[in-house]
Every structure is written in C-alpha cells, then in structure tokens.
Homo-oligomer: A and B are copies of this chain.
Amino acid sequence: MMEFALLLAAGAADVPAWVLLAYLVAGVCFILALRGLSSPESSRRGNGYGMVGMAIAVVTTLATHEIASIAEIGMAIFLGGIIGLTVARRIAMTAMPQLVAAFHSLVGMAAVLVAAAAFLNPSAFGILGADGNILAVSRIEMALGAAIGAITFSGSVIAFAKLNGNMSGAPILLPARHVINLGTLGGILALTGLYALSGDAGAGEGMEFWIIVALAFLVGFLLIIPIGGADMPVVVSMLNSYSGWAAAAMGFTLGNTAMIITGALVGSSGAILSYIMCRAMNRSFVSVIAGGFGQDASAGGDKGSAIDRSYKAGSAEDAAFLLSQADKVIIVPGYGMAVAQAQHVLREMTDLLKEKGVEVKFAIHPVAGRMPGHMNVLLAEANVPYDEVFELEDINSEFAQADVAFVIGANDVTNPAAKTDKTSPIYGMPVLDVEKARTTLFIKRSMGGAGYAGVENELFFRDNTMMLLSDAKKMVEEIVKSLD
C-alpha cells in the first residue's frame, strides 16, 4: 500500500494556482475549438479559440520557468512558424491528406524529443525523486510517450511518402510480419517494465529508454509499409489518434491539464474518424491495419470482362444537351474530381445550369475521395455554397426525382453491388442510388480503370447510363463550352 501511494505521488507540488488555472483555460479553449466545428458558421470562431488556447499555454509556460535563453527559444519558434505559415499558404487543397500526414510526423517527433529531454534533465520537469532516480510512474509515462511518438513519426513518414507518390502505394508484405510486429511491440512493453523497476534510473541513466525509442521507430515503419496506399487515410487518422495519446502521456508526466485535455480530444478525434471511415467502407479496422488490401483486391477484381461488354459512350455535347434539358440535376463528385482538380470548372458548369433554371444539388458520400470531408473542402474551395451540398442520408431519396445524376470521378460510392452482391468486397457499404435518376452520366478516363476497391461497376453497362470517357477537368470544360 505504501509502495503504491509513493508511486502515485507526482512531482511539482508547489506550482502556483494561477498556472494550473491557465492550463485549464487553455484546455477549455481547445474543447471550444472542436466544438465550433459543429457548423461552418461557428467554425471560424472555434479556430480562434484554438489559437488563444495555444497562446495561453505557451505564455504561461514561458512565464513560470527560469529561461536560460529567450533568444534561442524565440528563434526556434520563429523558424518553425515561418515554415509552417509558408507551407499552409502554398499547399494545394488536393494535397491535404499528405500535409496532415507530414504534420503528424512532426508532432510525433516533438513528443520523442520532449521525452528524451525529460530523460536527460528530469529535474527541470520536476520528476526527479528524492532518491536521485526519476519517479517510477514518470518513467512509465515517459517511455510510453516516447514510444507512441516514435511510432507516430515513422508511421506518418511512410504514410506521407505513399500519399505523396514518393513511394509506391502497393503494400509491401514481409513474411511473418504479424509475428515480427507483435514481438517488437511486446519487447517495447517489456523494456518499459524493466525501466520502471530499474534501480539505476537517474538523469540520463538507463539504456532501456533508448532501445525503446529505437524499437518504436522500427515498429512504426513495419506497421505501415504493408498497408496499401489507398488505405492510408485510415492510417493517418489512426496516427492522429496516437499523437493525441502521446501528448496525454506527456501531460501525465508534467501534470499539465492542457496537455491531458488535448490528448484526449485528439485521441478521440482520430479514433472516431477511423471508425467512421471503416464503417462507411464496411471494413473492419483490424483488416485495414493487418494490411495488404490494395493488392488482394486488385488481384481479385475481374476487370478483364469490362472491355468486352457494350456500353453507351457520349460526348460533351450530348452531356450538355441532357443537362440543359433537365429540371433537376444531382452531382456526385468522387476521387477523380480531386485528381483532375475539376472542382472550379464544375462550379462554372453549375452556375450556367442554374442560369438556365435547372435545380442543381451536390451529393456527398461519407468516404468519397480519400479523406473524410475531402469533397466538401474541394467544393468549398471552388465557392460552392455549403447549403447546396448534402450528405448521403439527406439526399439519397431524391435521386428518384432527378433527371440527371452527374457522376464525376466517383465509382465505388455509386456501385449497386454493395447492395446486392454478397461476394463483393464493398458489400454492405451504403451507396448513393444514382441509378434511380432518369439518366446517369459517368465521367472517368477509361473503361479499364477501377476505383479504390478495384471492383467493376455494373452501372456502366446500363441502358440509361452514358459514359463520358475523358479527364474530368477536360470533359467539364468542354461541357461548359457547349452550354454557353
């Protein structure tokens, strides 16, 4: 009992009350930042709260510590800030998935560095025990924080490389990889235990710490390379969640409310987004993490037959005619729109149609594109008002009244096999009922190319479907010309 009580006695007892209060306020600001995202109107104010919270946390920390060199700290912040702002200003909206992955890797690395600094200089963090050793509970928190941070770092780097095309998206399957991964993770946990129980654990003492960090870097790498490029969004979200838990672990070490609240928020956010994606794809999280999906599926999909079957191809003029005759058009954007960067010209097209008195709406599937909310942000970029953009549940019943369903670069999210074919890899995933519209127009580059899941789409060969085979941006540009 005594032992346990000692273990629980965290350091830094004499922090002034206002400091604790300031960190609490910062944490509440972060809660309000996420809360703002419940609607676009409140979201900008929410982001403001986030900035305020961060400023409070930074200023409080600087004000309560004897600072050796404010100039160096200022330089570090300035340098980082410049890089961050430049990247944020320059990045194309279509590159968001990569950017998020890159940013995650930085958080992960920062967590490792902080844990290492605490390891080398524990007294600055108030975690040095009376016996000259780092407090046992802090050792556990530090080791776990560093390990999670390292996994986040190397995993995010691979995810970035795959998403950015620096590395092939194909899953790289090592033999016995599950055994290796589980073994390494087990090793990390065992070493953490050893380190916590070790008698020699003063500042900078204990090889276990460094071995844990090294193994964690390795495991992050090993965990992600077998996962196909297209599964990366789920992985990125999972890593987001990890970076949150790493921050929470460091928050325990420092007894810092802001870090704990943030950790829990970010941790939940990543976990919930992963869950939402998996559910909308009707795949289990385990099967994503176990890896190898991209490959198996492209082997399994019988693409060969696509070329043999007859379909109705159309031109931009045909499409323009059908669109301008319609009363109601529903546009279904997908990954292909993002690839072709067709959102701006698409918006021009809808403007022309609206001028002609056609009612135009957008239907967004929860996993259209390659990131949650991917299509929404691209359409917003192209100035499509968000009240013309609808979620699947809200618009799916309207396809029956639509004259034209205009599918631009989407495939899986319209595939009726998800409703009917139990053997299909996407069976059970909710889909948009585009086939209920009087006519369905499909823009894609070729009859051969399949979508993310690598399965064929029956709709291409239906009588009321017209295929518009071309790059999405080019095709829509031509339609705009014909409409004028």
A-side residues, CB < 8 A to B, are 1, 4-5, 8, 16-17
Contacts and interface: CB of A to CB of B under 8 A. Distances in A.
A286 to B, nearest CB: 25
A25 to B, nearest CB: 16
Nearest to A5: B17
Closest 5 CB pairs of A and B: A8-B17, A5-B17, A4-B17, A5-B16, A1-B16
A17 B16 CA distance: 23
A136 to B, nearest CB: 14
5 contacts: A1-B16, A4-B17, A5-B16, A5-B17, A8-B17
A4 B19 CA distance: 13
Nearest to A17: B8
Nearest to A20: B8
A17 B4 CA distance: 9
A5 B17 CA distance: 7
Contacts of A8: 17
A346 to B, nearest CB: 32
Contacts of A4: 17
Contacts of A16: 1, 5
Contacts of A5: 16-17
A413 B1 CA distance: 62
Nearest to A1: B16
A32 to B, nearest CB: 17
A18 B17 CA distance: 25
A8 B21 CA distance: 12
Nearest to A14: B5
Contacts of A17: 4-5, 8
Nearest to A21: B8
A396 B4 CA distance: 60
A5 B14 CA distance: 10
A4 B16 CA distance: 10
A17 B5 CA distance: 7
A4 B1 CA distance: 34
Contacts of A1: 16
A303 to B, nearest CB: 43
A8 to B, nearest CB: 5
Nearest to A9: B17
A342 B8 CA distance: 60
A16 B3 CA distance: 12
A17 B2 CA distance: 10
A362 B64 CA distance: 62
